[in-house]
Amino acid sequence: MWLYQPRKVEHVVSIAYCASAATFVGISREYERTSEYALFHLGSGHEVRQVAALGRPAAVEFCLSGEALLLDDGRLAEAATGRLLRIIPFVESAG
C-alpha cells in the first residue's frame, strides 16, 4: 500500500504507475516559495523520494502509460529516472 501526505506548501498535480520502476510516480509543485515542479517516486509505506527537479513549466503531464513525462517546453523525460530522453520541437500557431 502506498500513502503520501504532501507537505502543506506542496500540491501533487499528477500521479501515474511506472511499470519499469515498479512504483507510483508523481509530479508535485511547491507553490509557496519557488513554484517549481518535481518528479517523485512513492516507495512502500510512507517513503517518498524526489527523483528530479523540473523547473517551472506551465504544464507537465505523464505519457506513454506512465513511463515518461512531457513538459510544455518540449522536454520528454523518463519517469523512472528523470533523465531527459529528447526535446520535441513544438510549433507555435499563428493565432
pLDDT digits (tens, 9 = 90+) for 39-57: 999 876 667 888 999 999 8
Give the separation between CA 4 and CA 46, rounded to whole angstroms. Answer: 6
95 is a domain residue:
no
pLDDT at 95 (0 to 100): 61
- Give the predicted TM-score (pTM) of the model: 0.83
Burial letters for 17-29: b for 16+ Cβ neighbours within 10 Å, e otherwise?
bbeebebbbbbbb
The pLDDT of residue 9 is above 80: no
* 93 located within any domain: no
Q: Does 76 reside within a domain?
A: yes
- Bridge partner residues of 38 (DSSP): 28, 53
Tell me the C-alpha to C-alpha distance, in Å, between residue 34 and each of 56, 59, 88. 9, 16, 26
**Domains of the chain: total:** 1
Residue 1 lies in a domain: no
pLDDT in tens, 62-88: 999 999 999 999 999 999 999 999 999
Quick check: is 5 in a domain? no
Instruction: Judge whether residue 93 has pLDDT over 70.
Output: no
